[in-house]
Structure 1
Amino acid sequence: MTQHLTQSPQFFLTAPSPCPYLEGQLERKVFTHLSGAKAVEMNDLLTQGGFRRSQNIAYRPACETCQACVSVRILAQEFKTSRNLQRVLHKNQDLVSSISNTPPTSEQYLLFQTYLEARHHLGGMSDMSALDYAMMVEDTHVDTKIIEYRKRGPDSFITGKGEGELIALALTDQMADGLSMVYSFFNPDMEERSLGTFMILDHIERTRTMGLPHVYLGYWVHGSPKMDYKTRFQPQEHLGPQGWQRYQKNK
Structure 2
Amino acid sequence: MSHHGIRVFLTAEHPCGYFRERRAQDLLLDPHDKRVPLLYGQALEHGFRRSGTHVYRPRCPGCRACQPLRVDVRAFAPSRGQRRCLRRNADIGDIQPLERAGEEHFALYQRYVRSRHPGGGMDQGGRHDFDAFVSARWSPTVFAELRRRGQLVAVAVTDLLEDGLSAVYTFFDPDLAERSLGTLAILRQIEWARRSGRRWLYLGFFIAGHPKMDYKRRFGPSQVLVDGEWREAVIDG
For the criterion TM > 0.5, the same-fold answer is yes
Counterpart pick for 1:41 among 38, 43, 50: 38
Cα distance in structure 2, aligned partners of 1:227 and 1:116: 17
Superimposed CA distance per residue, residues 219-241 of structure 1 (whole angstroms, 9 cap, x where no aligned partner): 01134122111010110000001
Structure 1 runs, 4 residues or longer, greater than 4 Å off? 34-37
User: How large is the Cα RMSD of the aligned pairs?
Assistant: 1.9
Matched, 1:107 2:93: no
Superimposed CA distance per residue, residues 120-145 of structure 1 (whole angstroms, 9 cap, x where no aligned partner): 12334222211222333442312111
Report the residue type matching 2:171 in the other structure. F
Secondary structure, counterpart of 1:122 in structure 2: coil
Residue 66 (structure 1) shift? 0.6
Cα distance in structure 1, aligned partners of 2:202 and 2:220: 13
Counterpart pick for 1:212 among 195, 198, 209: 198
Secondary structure, counterpart of 1:215 in structure 2: strand
Matched, 1:57 2:54: yes
8 Å CA contact 2:134, 2:168 repeated in 1:
no
Residue 35 (structure 1) shift? 5.9
Cα distance in structure 2, aligned partners of 1:175 and 1:210: 11
Quote the residue 1:30 is aligned against.
Answer: 27
Number of residue-to-residue matches in the alignment: 234
Matched, 1:226 2:212: yes
Quote the residue 1:72 is aligned against.
Answer: 69
Superimposed CA distance per residue, residues 5-45 of structure 1 (whole angstroms, 9 cap, x where no aligned partner): x9822222222122121231111111124566633331111
Counterpart pick for 1:194 among 173, 180, 195: 180
8 Å CA contact 2:9, 2:30 repeated in 1:
no
The change in CA–CA distance for 1:8 and 1:125 in structure 2 (over 3 A counts) is farther
8 Å CA contact 1:21, 1:221 repeated in 2:
no
Report the residue type matching 1:239 in the other structure. L
Quote the residue 1:87 is aligned against.
Answer: 84
8 Å CA contact 2:167, 2:202 repeated in 1:
yes
Matched, 1:131 2:128: yes
Cα distance in structure 1, aligned partners of 2:38 and 2:68: 19
**Unmatched tracts of structure 2, length 5 or more:** none
Quote the residue 2:10 is aligned against.
Answer: 13
Worse-superposed segment, 212-221 or 143-152: 143-152
**Unmatched tracts of structure 1, length 5 or more:** 1-5, 153-163
TM-score, structure 2 normalization: 0.92
The change in CA–CA distance for 1:113 and 1:27 in structure 2 (over 3 A counts) is same
Cα distance in structure 1, aligned partners of 2:69 and 2:43: 14
Quote the residue 1:167 is aligned against.
Answer: 153
Cα distance in structure 1, aligned partners of 2:120 and 2:152: 23
